[in-house]
Amino acid sequence: MIEEAGLPVSREIEIVPNGRKALLLAELARDSGRFDAFREAVFAAYWARGENIGDDAVLERLAREAGLDEHEARAELVEQQRFDRLQESTAEMLELGAGGVPAWVIDRRVLVPGAQPHEVFERVLARLGHEPRDGVGSRDR
């Protein structure tokens, strides 16, 4: 499915890293207005290049590339100030029925488990009353 979507995928992935620290830095990125940039950097590092996103040095580099403050990122990795927030959001996802990664909760009402084609998300969003944005949707592929 990854290749069909035209996404890069590494054949070099040798380990499944512990992603907790990446998630902590994602929360820092969210607070800093850099969430999308950090998320893209982490996804590309792991999925396209097979990097270990559980390694502090890799995460520090990705944080820097995404425009996060280097000192704040390093402090988050050590102090884990956002750990409680991460535990709360994890508990919420589990309560909503998520049992694996990836999983998406849309409008806090519908759980979409696993990797799904775009059409699944389009149907869910339509049933929830969301209209497609200009330039987005299956009709544009």
Which pLDDT does position 38 carry in this prediction?
A: 97
Q: Which residues contact 62 (CB under 8 A, 6 or more apart)?
A: 25, 38, 41, 42, 45, 53
Encode pLDDT of 50-105 as tens digits.
899 999 999 999 999 999 999 999 999 999 999 999 999 889 888 888 887 788 88
Task: Name the band, by pLDDT with cuts 50, 70 and 90, for residue 21.
Answer: very high
Q: Are strands 110-113 and 103-106 parallel, antiparallel or unpaired?
A: antiparallel
**Is residue 133 over pLDDT 80?**
no
The rounded percent of the chain whose pLDDT value lies above 90 is 54
Which pLDDT does position 5 carry in this prediction?
A: 58
**Domains of the chain, start order:** 1-95 (3.40.30.10), 97-140 (no CATH)
Which pLDDT does position 141 carry in this prediction?
A: 42
Task: Name the band, by pLDDT with cuts 50, 70 and 90, for residue 140.
Answer: very low
Say which amino acid occupies 133.
R
Question: What is the token pair recorded at 7?
Answer: 């996404």
**Strand residues in the chain grouped as ranges (E):** 103-106, 110-113
